[in-house]
Copies of this chain bind each other. A is one copy, B any other.
Amino acid sequence: MAGERRGVIPQSEDFSAWYNEIVFRAELVDRGPVRGTMVVRPYGYRIWELLQADIDRRIKETGHVNAYFPLLIPESYLRREAEHVAGFAPELAVVTHAGGRELDEPLVVRPTSETVIGEMMARWIGSHRDLPMLLNQWANVVRWEMRPRMLLRTTEFLWQEGHTAHVDEAGALRETMLALGLYADVAREVAAMPVVEGEKTEGERFPGARQTFTVEAMMRDGRALQSGTSHYLGTNFARAFGIRYTAESGALEYCHTTSWGMSSRMLGGVIMTHGDDRGLVLPPALAPYQVVIVPIGHGDQAAAVQTAAADLTVRLRRAGIRAHLDDRPHVSPGFKFNDWELRGVPIRLELGPRDLADGAALMATRLGACKTAVPLPSAPERLTDELAAFQALLLRRATDFRDSRTRPADTWAEFTDAVRTGWTLAFHCGSPECEDEIKAETAATPRCIPSDGPPEGGRCVRCDGDSAYGRRLIFGRSY
């Protein structure tokens, strides 16, 4: 039962312990029987469904179609792209036996599907008329994690993976950036996470990609969460799998491909972007219940209050609000308040005999200090506005937080100081060894070369070499 114990470990005391307590007590997830696996419980899964529906709509609106590819992939497929197998080999789960006997060739449980989709694209694409091919898959993937963390890094997770093929680099790059923009929009408009878009440095690229782009979000402990990535794969996978087309000229050409993914890890991002010491704080767009109504009344008055609360619930639902009537008879209103606070419900409405006599309900928002009376007749319109305001407030609050924790650094002292509590904007020489040294000393890595970073020259914050990117990079510790 949620809310059985009062009080949550404060974020400031131990952010990691706070996170673990929240995800379990709010009944978002549970540990699976196998180390590193996760069960997504109904309350957590509903948040995922809402996120999924929104992403799916945007993916379809931009001309992509869903399909489904096999879970089990011949081990040899991964070896066809050298960087790809090097990147994923340590994380693979391998099926060696099936149907009561040992398999001739081991099968890997997909860690991602570039290989098997590449094989099928090669079969399906003949002419330039078949391009672009714009596919998406909703699936589970398995990556054996050494340091599992609920929702952020589990051996299995849920995601969508877009896979597209194009006639040339320009088309594939446009697609790569379209997917990146889609992720930035989802993060901001739905999850209220003010992400920064940018490109990854060479050392942080997807194994097999020519370029990797990312949306990075700042969590309330100042760390970065990579929240979605979009890869331009060049002709690497096209060459490995023979994805070719006949051009109008009659020549046989390799396709340029992309892939891009966003996952259930976003739920972890929502928790760590908005949550506080009382529990979750959910953006209305992702809240299973946007408004919870708690009837309060004893004896003779209970029936009238109950009727009015049920009526209000129906009216809110008709206005498109996900309203929930908490009429559990065996727990107190105080218990319910704490429970829904823990679960991050944006708005709570209390309805007692006195409120009913006044023709109003008492509204408390998840972040507000005081309660406000909401006249019952106009409640649906008022709550619709309040929810929109709450969604906007979360984005603004998170943006302010991120900005307050992001500082430029021109000296190593400024750099080490800044990444202790947040992000820093600094120049870098582009050398992978220099990146490694920074990571070894500070645990900070280049999160991205921000797309909207102004052109600027300077010296590497670590080794004083020439700046390689013509602008500052964002550095920070990450999940």
The one of B37, B77, B89, B144 that contacts A70, using a Cβ cutoff of 8 Å: B37
**Once the chains are docked, how many angstroms separate the CA of A92 from the CA of B97?**
8
B-side contacts of A170, CB under 8 Å: none
Interface residues of A in 128-180 (CB under 8 A from B): 129, 135, 139-140, 142, 144-146, 155-156, 158
Interface residues of A in 84-116 (CB under 8 A from B): 89-100, 106-107, 109, 116
Which of A65, A72, A116 has its CB near the most chain B CB atoms (within 10 A)? Answer: A72
Check: A354 CB closer than 8 A to any chain B CB. no
B-side contacts of A320, CB under 8 Å: none
Q: A144 near B99 (CB under 8 angstroms)?
A: yes
Q: A42 near B66 (CB under 8 angstroms)?
A: yes
Q: A98 near B107 (CB under 8 angstroms)?
A: no
Q: B71 near A46 (CB under 8 angstroms)?
A: no
B-side contacts of A40, CB under 8 Å: 67-68
Give the contact stretch, choosing among A15-23, A26-34, A271-279, A408-416: A26-34
Q: B67 near A42 (CB under 8 angstroms)?
A: yes
Chain A's interface size range is 35 or more
Interface string of A25-65 (1 = CB under 8 A from B): 00000101110011111100110110000000000000001
B-side contacts of A67, CB under 8 Å: 39-42, 45
Which of A1, A42, A48 has its CB near the most chain B CB atoms (within 10 A)? Answer: A42
Whether A33 touches B68, Cβ cut-off 8 Å, given contacts A98-B92, A129-B330, A146-B99, is no
Q: A69 near B32 (CB under 8 angstroms)?
A: yes
Q: A71 near B119 (CB under 8 angstroms)?
A: no
Which of A37, A67, A96, A145 has its CB near the most chain B CB atoms (within 10 A)? Answer: A67
Check: A430 CB closer than 8 A to any chain B CB. no
Taking the nearest CB of chain B, how far is it from the CB of A265, in angstroms? Answer: 14
B-side contacts of A49, CB under 8 Å: 66
Check: A458 CB closer than 8 A to any chain B CB. no
Whether A34 touches B96, Cβ cut-off 8 Å, given contacts A66-B45, A109-B109, is no
5 contacts between A and B (CB under 8 A): A34-B74, A92-B98, A94-B96, A94-B98, A96-B96
Given contacts A68-B158, A92-B98, 6 further A-B contacts (CB under 8 A): A33-B70, A33-B73, A37-B70, A37-B72, A39-B120, A97-B106
Q: Nearest 5 A-B pairs (CB), nearest first?
A: A99-B144, A42-B65, A37-B70, A32-B70, A93-B98
Which residues of A approach B to under 8 Å, CB–CB? 1, 30, 32-34, 37-42, 45-46, 48-49, 65-74, 77, 89-100, 106-107, 109, 116, 119-120, 123-124, 126, 129, 135, 139-140, 142, 144-146, 155-156, 158, 330
